[in-house]
Structure 1
Amino acid sequence: MTIEAVIFDIGNVLIEWNPERFYDWAIGRAQREALFAEVDLHSMNDAIDAGGLFRETIYDWADRHPDWSAEIRMWHDNWIDMASPRIEGSIALLRALRLRGVPVFALTNFGIHSFAYAQTQYDFLSEFDRAYVSGQMGVIKPDPRIYELVEADCGLAPARLLFTDDRADNIAAAQARGWQTHPFQGWQGWAQRLVAEDLLTEKEAGL
């Protein structure tokens, strides 16, 4: 079936997202492992992605864990260092698709305020035809509801959507809705899939 829109996840597809790597650099691996064992920072981030306030949520968690308060606040104060660097090959594919006139959407677990901030740091985050941001929608992947909301908004049949994401659970949830999917493991593989779907030529895909 013809693809009518291509949907990109953002974290680890267009921007590297590796908080553990940042904390290893900032406080050392042993301290990072102790921090993450004691404080579920990924659950904190899920709360932000579901619509919670950015700074306030993180600083509240810091207040609740005084032994780690300075380190937890880094999640806000050094956030851009965790959400980097850019994945240039994927960004080139996004732009090549748009040049071909293919609608390109984002579907991302991202906080309202952190996404607005990221848009000031990364120009390509304002280049989507539609951006579906979990914090704005009040639901995060892989909840089936977020995929249903995308379908309702764009008006396209699930089988006409091609979605890439680095997480298997997010891919499985999209497949369950009938979406076409690509597990992201690097921009080159994603480029090959876009060529196979006749959405880009090899030259346009940078292959």
Structure 2
Amino acid sequence: MKVQAVIWDIGNVLIEWQPERYFDQLIGQTRRAQLFAQVDLFAMMDRIDAGAPFAETIEETACDHPDWQAEIRHFRDNWTALASPAIEHSVRLLRALKSAQVPVFALSNFGVQNFPCSRVQFPFLGEFDRYYISGQMGRIKPDPAIYAAVEADCGIAPEHLLFTDDRSDNINTAIARGWQVHLFDGAKGWAQCLVRSGLLIKENAV
């Protein structure tokens, strides 16, 4: 089935999202493990991704956990260091698709306030043809409603959409809606998928 648009997740597809690694370097693996065991930081980020205010939600979480206030505030004060670096091969693939005049859309769980920070840090995040950012939409993947909203907005039939994401739950919802999918586990495999799909030639997928 011919692909009419390629839809990208952002975290761990175009930019690395490994907060455990960041805190390992900051406070060591033992204390990092304690932090993540005692504070549900991913639930905090899910709230932000669903539209809750970025700084206020982090501060609220910090105040709820006085033993970890300084560490939690790193999500607010050092966001650009936490959500980095870029995955350079993926960036090249994005730009190769653009050069080939293939429409590219972003579908990402990202907050309203912190997405613009990352977009300034990484100019390639400003190169998509359409944006579907969860915080702006008030729902997060893998909620089927966010996928339905993408379909309604872009007007492309599900079977003509190719979606990549690093999380299997997000991929499974796309499959259930009839999208073509690729579970991202590295840019090399994604490049091979784009070549197999006839969207890029091998020489442009490196």
Equivalents in 2 of 1:72, 1:189: separation in Å? 34
Q: Secondary structure at the match of 1:107?
A: strand
Task: Using the TM superposition, give the Cα deviation of residue 78 of structure 1 relative to its aligned residue in structure 2, in angstroms.
Answer: 1.3
1:91 aligns with 2:91: yes
Q: Secondary structure at the match of 2:89?
A: helix
Q: CA deviation at 1:76?
A: 1.1
Other structure's SS at 2:164 match? strand
Shift of 1:66: 0.8
In the aligned structure 1, how far is the partner of 2:101 from the partner of 2:74? 40
Summarize the alignment of residues 2-13 of structure 1 with structure 2, pairs less than 5 Å apart. Answer: 2-13=2-13
Q: C-alpha distance in 2, partners of 1:107/1:118?
A: 15
Q: Partner residue of 1:37?
A: 37
Residue 33 of structure 1: CA displacement?
0.8
SS at match of 1:203: helix
Q: Quick one: which amino acid aligns to residue 94 of structure 1?
A: L
Matches within 5 A, 1:20-31: 20-31=20-31
Q: Distance in 2 between matches of 1:155 and 1:24?
A: 44
Deviation at 1:99, TM superposition (A): 0.6
Deviation for aligned residue 1:204: 1.0
Letter matched to residue 56 of structure 2: E
Aligned counterparts, 1:114-129, within 5 A = 114-129=114-129
Give deviations 1:51-89, integer Å, cap 9, x for gaps. 011111101110111111111101111111111110010
Note the alpha carbon deviations across 1:75-133, whole angstroms, 9 max, x for none.
Answer: 11111111111001000000000111100001000001100111110000100000110
How far the C-alpha of 1:149 sits from its partner, in A, is 0.4
- Corresponding letter in the other structure for 2:191: A
Structure 1: distance between partners of 2:116 and 2:86: 17
Residue aligning to 1:50: 50
Equivalences, count = 206
What SS does structure 2 have at the residue aligned with 1:96? Answer: helix
CA distance in 1, matches of 2:144, 2:127: 26
Whole-Å separation in 2 of the counterparts to 1:200 and 1:41: 38
SS at match of 2:203: coil
Q: Where does residue 186 of structure 2 map in the other structure?
A: 186
Identity %: 61
Partner of 2:132: 132
Q: Is 1:105 the equivalent of 2:102?
A: no
